[in-house]
Amino acid sequence: MNQQAFLSRRIVTPEGVRPGALVVEGELIRDVVAPDRVPAGAEIHDFGDAAILPGLVDSHVHINEPGRAEWEGFETATRAAAAGGYTLLVDMPLNCLPATTTVHALEAKRAAAQNRCLVDWMAWGGVVADNQLHIEELANAGVAGFKCFLIHPGIDGFTMVTEAQLRAALPHVARTGLPLLVHAELPGPVDSAAQRLGGADWSHYHVYLQSRPEEAELSAIAFLLSLCREYKFRLHIVHLSACQALPLLCAARAEGLPVSVETCPHYLHFTAETIPNGATLFECAPPIRSAENREELWKGLREGTIDLVATDHSPCPPEMKRPTEGSFRTAWGGIAGLSLALPVMYTEASKRGFGLIDIARWMAEGPARLAGCQERKGRLAKGYDADFVIFDPESEFVVSEERLHYRHPVSPYLGEKLRGVVQATYLRGRPVYAKGEFPGKPIGREYQHE
Ligand SMILES: [Zn+2]
């Protein structure tokens, strides 16, 4: 079989960053070797000083198809992913119609994805008010795990779960051995804040911030940890925003509870103090908090309490961001991040003394482990899928619409100067993105949990 050798002075492997060659045979990594050990006859691609990172895995993406393809879709989401250095997306079970809460709905999603993906994908299943009896069937049908909401998700078609409904679901979840990802905000503190703020001016960001208080996250996480102790299921907290929850999560790990945590690039980059009034492009839930909070989240990454970084890529048609009235009460909450997450993270991480190896751990290896594909994805190592990114960490660029690549080119990052450029992305040994172009056919396929 034909061999290819990808040379770089900085190959990011689990053991460290080193000069060498990534030797690829067919769709797999055959080995990572020293520069003078390239097998004779291999086709050489020399990337010089540009780094080779493992293909990134995004365990939190809203592709919204079938049913809301006018928001996003498999073609556009995977195109943005390829341009951003991602080679595997795990799709959230909501915003699409039908929501992925039954095997029938999962099959509809598979049909929608057929032959249209530039990168690989997997599905999360939903846990909603009334689908307890579908949970194990979804696991058998190949979902990576499950997602539920403790608060109204802001959209119809996917219900939140009450404590009783969650308790009815948890024995099924525990039997599958798969993780349950939870949107951890409780309605109580959010509802009372909304009442208090009824007459306030909702074009002010600080009003929105007060409407999603830390207390909602803290009480939800404490509640979930007690359930985790009782039912012994794998708990994953999505998009942690409130840093006050970190000591609780750290103690839960010390106790040995099977809990993992993610945060998102927007919480690690933006700060509440600098969001202009009416700038609803910054709206997401839970909200972007203070600069001090942001630094504590970085500390959570440093100390390992936060395992991974996922985008929560959640686009919508531009008019749903209510650009004319600028009201944080009526705008859709969600930020699209797939095409920019790597440079955003590298810009912020490199300022704080982190390196490419940390980025690979947070954005490739960690999410792959959560999705259960850590034996095939998320590392540059022998036997793994030949998924990788050619990344120039020294170059800078200014974010413009042409770099976004998802369906609607709106973003709170427009105009920002970022550090680190994705030069090319390879999926199973073949280029799916190179210097602004998307060569070849859509070869992305579903990776099913076994
Ligand atoms: Zn989400």
**Do 185 and 212 touch, CB atoms closer than 8 A?**
yes
17 C-alpha to center of ligand 1: Å?
32
From first CA to last CA, the distance across the chain in angstroms is 28
What pLDDT, on a 0 to 100 scale, did the predictor assign at position 198? Answer: 84
pLDDT digits (tens, 9 = 90+) for 315-373: 999 999 999 999 999 999 999 999 999 999 999 999 999 999 999 999 999 999 999 99
Amino acid at the residue 429: G
Contacts by 413-420 with C-beta closer than 8 Å and gap 24+? 413/340, 413/344, 418/340, 418/343, 418/344, 418/346, 418/347, 419/343, 419/346, 419/347, 419/350, 419/393, 419/394, 419/395, 420/342, 420/343, 420/346, 420/347, 420/350, 420/391, 420/392, 420/393, 420/395
335 C-alpha to center of ligand 1: Å?
9
Distance CA 45, CA 174 (A): 46
314 C-alpha to center of ligand 1: Å?
6
Other C-beta atoms closer than 10 Å to the C-beta of 266 total 23
**Do 68 and 100 touch, CB atoms closer than 8 A?**
no
What pLDDT, on a 0 to 100 scale, did the predictor assign at position 38? Answer: 96
5 C-alpha to center of ligand 1: Å?
38
- Residue 49's alpha-carbon distances to 8, 14, 19, 46, 397, in angstroms, are 6, 19, 9, 9, 18
184 C-alpha to center of ligand 1: Å?
11
Chunked mean pLDDT (size 10), the chain, 450 residues: 94 96 98 96 97 98 96 97 98 97 98 98 98 98 98 93 98 98 98 94 97 98 98 98 98 98 98 97 98 98 98 95 93 96 98 98 98 98 98 98 96 98 98 95 92
62 C-alpha to center of ligand 1: Å?
6
**Do 352 and 419 touch, CB atoms closer than 8 A?**
no
- Residue 306's alpha-carbon distances to 4, 216, 258, 301, 328, in angstroms, are 36, 19, 13, 5, 28
Look at residues 181, 12, 224 and name the one whose alpha carbon lies nearest to residue 90.
Answer: 181
- DSSP H helical segments within 17-102, as ranges? 74-84
72 C-alpha to center of ligand 1: Å?
14
312 C-alpha to center of ligand 1: Å?
5
Distance CA 337, CA 344 (A): 9
What pLDDT, on a 0 to 100 scale, did the predictor assign at position 240? Answer: 98
Distance CA 378, CA 365 (A): 4
Look at residues 174, 7, 14, 155 and name the one whose alpha carbon lies nearest to residue 93.
Answer: 155
Largest CA distance in the chain: 73
DSSP-based three-state secondary structure for 11: strand
Question: Peptide bond before 98: cis, by omega within 30 degrees of 0?
Answer: yes
319 C-alpha to center of ligand 1: Å?
20
| Residues found in the chain | 450
180 C-alpha to center of ligand 1: Å?
14
336 C-alpha to center of ligand 1: Å?
10
92 C-alpha to center of ligand 1: Å?
7
124 C-alpha to center of ligand 1: Å?
11
Both tokens assigned to 219: 């009480």
